[in-house]
């Protein structure tokens, strides 16, 4: 008898894989199958690794629409600096991203550092973090006048900067100005 329902085939295939792998490789195979099953429920963002970058399409306190993107992309607003499978306190330089099961258990927790591009504009929401926006957008909060990699020093920003944002790891100084300038 053949079953074609998604749930039945997926559970059966996963169970068959686990039994086959256990017989061939021992207990470490069970760990790998468990890891694959847990990873299957995660979004693409939650599967990100340290060094990957994230675009925020839309954000709110309870739900965000994000996607992994190349770190060189203009809309790569955040870079993943830490990955955890439970909620942790991220350093004050970082923004946190949490993905949970419907039942409330955390399945992914990321600490994200800003990854702003020189000359680009961003919107900063008090509860939603940063989002890339065109400099002509009404909701553009600031423009990155200068990005200085490898150094953390507010004195590096000139008169064009209205404010400074520093990240200690990785070391970056962002000189920020008006989005309209």
pTM (whole model) above 0.95: no
47 lies in some domain: no
For 75-144, the three-class secondary structure string (H helix, E strand, C coil) is: CCCEEEEEEECCCCCCCCCCEEEEEECCCCCEEEEEEEEECCCCCCEEEEECCCEEEEECCCCCCCCEEE
| Same domain? 170 vs 109 | yes
Residues 98 and 155 both lie in one domain: yes
Give pLDDT tens digits for 46-102: 888 999 999 888 766 667 788 899 999 999 999 999 998 888 999 888 988 887 766
Q: Is residue 61 part of a domain?
A: yes
Q: Quick check: is 45 in a domain?
A: no
Tell me what pLDDT residue 158 has. 85
Q: Do 14 and 66 have their domain in common?
A: no
| pLDDT class of 159 with cuts at 50, 70, 90 | confident
pLDDT: is 9 or 26 the higher one? 26
Per-residue confidence band for 27, with pLDDT thresholds at 50, 70 and 90: very low
Residue 35 lies in domain: 6-40
Domain membership of residue 48 (yes or no) is: no
Tell me how many domains the chain contains. Answer: 2
């Amino acid at each position: 008898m053949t079953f074609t329902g998604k749930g039945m085939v997926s559970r059966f295939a996963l169970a068959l894989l686990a039994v086959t792998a256990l017989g061939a490789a021992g207990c470490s195979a069970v760990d790998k199958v468990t890891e694959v099953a847990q990873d299957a429920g995660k979004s693409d963002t939650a599967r990100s690794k340290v060094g990957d970058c994230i675009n925020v399409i839309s954000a709110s306190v309870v739900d965000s629409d994000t996607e992994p993107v190349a770190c060189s992309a203009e809309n790569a607003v955040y870079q993943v600096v830490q990955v955890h499978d439970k909620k942790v306190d991220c350093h004050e330089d970082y923004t946190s991203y949490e993905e949970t099961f419907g039942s409330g258990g955390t399945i992914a927790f990321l600490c994200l550092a800003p990854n702003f591009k020189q000359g680009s504009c961003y919107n900063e929401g008090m509860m939603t973090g940063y989002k890339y926006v065109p400099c002509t957008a009404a909701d553009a909060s600031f423009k990155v006048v200068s990005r200085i990699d490898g150094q953390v020093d507010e004195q590096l920003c000139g008169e064009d900067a209205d404010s400074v944002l520093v990240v200690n790891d990785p070391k970056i100084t962002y000189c920020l100005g008006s989005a309209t300038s």
